[in-house]
């Protein structure tokens, strides 16, 4: 730890955990920060290590932190780099969700996508996941990270939390991973130490209450609100849970945990919370709590609003064009106002059009491309999705060639197939190439090109 912790922070944490416990907490800043990843169950990837994250079956600890930019498997979406404590969300979902087929889940503050990609893996392409981010630039990062998951049951939106009041009693589960003071990131990010103050804690707590107030009407009666932060203080954590119980009529829901996990259960008067401390778990600071909405919670009426346009289904006459590209079983193809065609699970076609009336959809299922008369121009997202046709021409690249592809410096390929080819690494799609015989065109989007030196 290069920077001393703020005195006010020390005082607050000591009041919560005691002086002796704080000594161990402070010493944890001298330890090497653990690196963990969560594998994508739909991509080919050998287990990264034999050190599992106890509360998430897809989570692994790495012995050291590699340069992820120089691993083509990372770009193919074979795994997601995620802090281990945050993976506890899987354990909570596993206790709460008993039927996935018709479930609707909202990740309200979703960027950059760690928890949304976890939810997508958990759902296994069933139900509906709406991943939202209010900041436009961050929403597009979220879109890209979810596209690497490859699922066709995901919608990405760019909305303020209050916009969801137009969807009363809609979601079965809402996750609010709230903007917070970031105390749990102190060990990883020294800038978070400089930005911390008691005033900022108060501002965050007030903002969190506003977000929660805006989103509760969208939760179904009997549904679950999951509230999390990456901080330690009671004002942003257990006090907010107490407020939800007292003022909003929610019921705090206990989660079963194993003693050997060393997760600290935080008890309020009528509430349960789960705190991760870096001196107790192999992970960073994190807090999460589950609450259930009761029937007595006041609801609001649906409002009339239409900010989007319908997503018309692609003309059936055009379907033969898509068959060489896309697995079409149980899939609907929808076209947006830009002409981009999206593949979404057929049982979500009506839901997608409904959501598009009230929200700004920037991604729907899998963007598969555009149609130029009878010619398909593929979208990069299709290359990363398991919707791509099994018999689509592909060329497997070794690590160096894969990196050159990702740097857009791949000079040639050894393939007799002309036209469109999928570039793969370890069996997973990286993106599209077009072999013109005398040259190849690399269709990796410029914004995803790697810039660092290849080695």
Structural domain includes residue 72: yes
Structural domain includes residue 385: no
Domain limit, last residue, from 260, 292, 324: 292
In percent, the amount of the chain with pLDDT more than 90 equals 88
> Mean pLDDT across the stretch 244-267?
97
List, for residues 144-192, the tens digit of each pLDDT value: 999 999 999 999 999 999 999 999 999 999 999 999 999 999 999 888 9
Asked whether residue 1 carries a pLDDT value surpassing 70, the answer given is: no
List, for residues 70-80, the tens digit of each pLDDT value: 999 999 999 99
**Same-domain status, 274 and 406:** no
pLDDT band at 414 (very low <50, low <70, confident <90, very high): confident
- Active-site residue, from 56, 204, 230, 364: 230
Structural domain includes residue 162: yes
Between 295 and 231, the higher pLDDT residue: 231
**Same-domain status, 213 and 79:** yes
**Same-domain status, 413 and 278:** no
**Same-domain status, 409 and 265:** no
pLDDT band at 387 (very low <50, low <70, confident <90, very high): very high
Structural domain includes residue 207: yes
Asked whether residue 448 carries a pLDDT value surpassing 90, the answer given is: yes
Cα separation, 394 vs 182, in Å, equals 44
List, for residues 188-237, the tens digit of each pLDDT value: 988 899 999 999 999 999 999 999 999 999 999 999 999 999 999 999 99
Domain limit, last residue, from 252, 272, 292: 292
- CATH no. for residue 443? 3.10.450.720
Task: Please give the tally of structural domains in the chain.
Answer: 2
**Same-domain status, 120 and 235:** yes
Compute the residue count for the chain: 455
Cα separation, 87 vs 90, in Å, equals 6
pLDDT at 455: 80
**Same-domain status, 11 and 146:** yes
Does the annotation mark 180 as catalytic? no
Structural domain includes residue 408: yes
**Same-domain status, 201 and 88:** yes
**Same-domain status, 12 and 145:** yes
Between the alpha carbon of residue 387 and those of residues 42, 171, 253, 274, 349, the distances in Å are: 11, 26, 38, 38, 16
CA angle 320, 321, 323 (to 5 degrees): 65
**Same-domain status, 162 and 39:** yes
Structural domain includes residue 285: yes
Task: Return the HEC string of the chain.
Answer: CCCCCCHHHHHHHHHHHCHHHHHHHHHHHHCCCCEEEEECCCCCCCCCCCCECCCCCCEEEECCCCCHHHCHHHHCCCEEECCHHHHHHHHHHHHHCCCCCCCEEEECCCCCCHHHHHHHHHHCCCCEEEEECCCHHHHHHHHHHHHHHCCCCEEEECCCHHHHHHCCCCEEEEEEECCCCCHHHCCCCHHHHHHCCHHHHHHHHHHHHHHHHHHHHHEEEEEEEEEEECCCCCCCCHHHHHHHHHHHCCEEECCCCCHHHCCEEEECCCCEEEEECCCCCCCCCEEEEEEECCCCCCCCCCCCCCCCCCCCECCHHHHHHHCCCECCCCEEEEECCCCCEEEEEHHHHHHHHHHHHHCCEEEECEEEEEEECCEEEECHHHHHCCCECCCCCEEECCHHHHHHHHHCCCCCCCCCCCEEEEEEECCEEEEEEEECCCCEEECCCHHHCCCCCCC
**Same-domain status, 288 and 407:** no
Structural domain includes residue 84: yes
**Same-domain status, 288 and 411:** no
Per the structure, the complete domain to which residue 447 belongs is given by 393-455
- CATH no. for residue 167? 3.40.50.150
Contacts of 439 (CB under 8 A, 6+ apart): none
Structural domain includes residue 284: yes
Domain limit, last residue, from 267, 292, 317: 292
pLDDT band at 308 (very low <50, low <70, confident <90, very high): low
**Same-domain status, 272 and 412:** no
pTM summary value: 0.96
pLDDT band at 305 (very low <50, low <70, confident <90, very high): low
pLDDT at 437: 80
């Amino acid at each position: 730890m290069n920077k001393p912790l703020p005195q006010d922070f020390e005082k607050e944490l000591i009041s919560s955990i005691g002086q002796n416990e704080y000594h161990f907490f402070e010493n944890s800043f001298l330890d090497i920060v653990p690196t963990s990843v969560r594998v994508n169950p739909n991509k080919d990837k050998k287990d990264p290590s034999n050190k599992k994250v106890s509360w998430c079956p897809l989570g692994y600890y790495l012995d050291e932190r590699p340069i992820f930019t120089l691993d083509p498997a990372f770009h193919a979406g074979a795994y997601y780099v995620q802090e281990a404590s945050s993976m506890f969300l899987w354990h909570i979902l596993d206790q709460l969700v008993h039927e996935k087929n018709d479930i609707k889940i909202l990740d309200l503050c979703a960027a950059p996508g760690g928890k949304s990609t976890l939810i997508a893996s958990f759902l296994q392409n069933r139900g509906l996941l709406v991943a939202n981010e209010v900041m436009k630039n961050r929403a597009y990062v979220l879109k890209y990270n979810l596209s690497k998951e490859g699922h066709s049951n995901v919608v990405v939106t760019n909305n303020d939390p209050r916009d969801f009041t137009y969807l009363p009693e809609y979601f079965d589960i809402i996750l609010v991973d709230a903007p917070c003071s970031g105390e749990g990131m102190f060990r990883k990010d020294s800038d978070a130490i400089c930005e911390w103050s008691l005033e900022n804690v108060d501002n965050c707590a007030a903002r969190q209450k506003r977000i929660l107030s805006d989103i509760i009407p969208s939760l179904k009666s009997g549904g679950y609100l999951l509230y999390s932060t990456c901080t330690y203080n009671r004002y942003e954590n257990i006090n907010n849970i107490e407020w939800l119980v007292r003022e909003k009529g929610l019921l705090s829901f206990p989660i079963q945990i194993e003693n050997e996990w060393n997760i600290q259960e935080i008890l309020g008067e009528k509430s349960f919370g789960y705190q991760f401390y870096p001196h107790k778990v192999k992970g960073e600071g994190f807090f999460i709590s589950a609450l259930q909405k009761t029937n007595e919670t006041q609801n609001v009426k649906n409002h009339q609003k239409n900010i989007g346009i319908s997503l018309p289904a692609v003309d059936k006459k055009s379907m033969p064009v898509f068959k060489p590209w896309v697995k079409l079983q149980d899939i609907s193809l929808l076209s947006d106002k830009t002409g981009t065609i999206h593949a979404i699970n057929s049982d979500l076609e009506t839901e997608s059009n409904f959501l598009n009336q009230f929200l700004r959809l920037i991604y729907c299922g899998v963007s598969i491309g555009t149609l130029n008369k009878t010619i398909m121009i593929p979208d990069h997202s299709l290359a990363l999705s398991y919707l791509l046709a099994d018999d689509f021409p592909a060329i497997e690249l070794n690590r160096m060639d894969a990196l050159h592809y990702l740097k857009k410096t791949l000079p040639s390929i050894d393939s007799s197939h002309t036209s469109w080819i999928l570039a793969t690494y370890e069996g997973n799609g990286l993106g599209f190439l077009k072999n013109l015989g005398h040259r190849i065109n690399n269709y990796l989007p410029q914004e995803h090109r790697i810039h660092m030196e290849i080695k």
